[in-house]
Amino acid sequence: MKTIAIIPARGGSKRIPEKNIQIFDGLPLLAHSIIYAQKNKTLIDDIYVSTDNVEIKKIALQFGAKVIDRPASISGDLEPTISALKHVLESIDTSDVENVVLLQATNPLRPDNLLNEAFEIYNSKGYDSLFTVSRNHQKFGKIIEGKYQPFNYTIGQRSQDLEPLFF
């Protein structure tokens, strides 16, 4: 049975135009996730990039990923990631696929051992899914009627005393 990695990388980012091909630490952003999957080849058998963009496709192929061309109908701003995942799984032979690892191109900084540790937990606990989170150590607030209101703390509270929140 196989484990595959799917990296969704559409071309139409509004906040950061062409973000998935912007250079980060000397490489296109997308390349970091492909390389991470390749470094974990003891766990990941195949790497798929789902995209609607010609430049992203070129980079994915250059770095050794397989590409699934994503239709425009599931490439919009409001389309959830699950649409891209489902499309990849509908486009390939999944008869021997046991696990799917989602790697977001927009999260290129991952500890080297993260995937191994996650798989160990996933397998030892018998889970059917697992995702990673990071603890927030920041103080957040809202603007209500033109005034700042603390959201996850009280004025004067130390950040190390915050109730744990995760993203």
Q: State the pLDDT at residue 17.
A: 86
* Domains, the chain, ordered by start: 2-125 (3.90.550.10), 135-166 (no CATH)
Contact 13, 104 (CB under 8 A): no
- What's the pTM? 0.90
Q: State the pLDDT at residue 66.
A: 98
Within the chain, where are the H helices? 29-39, 54-62, 81-91, 114-125
Hey, what are 140's tokens? 């957040």
Q: How far is CA 122 from the centre of its chain?
A: 18
Amino acid occupying residue 82: I
Q: State the pLDDT at residue 13.
A: 83
Ordered mean pLDDT values, 10 residues apiece, the chain (167 residues): 97 88 96 98 98 98 98 93 97 97 95 96 95 92 96 93 93
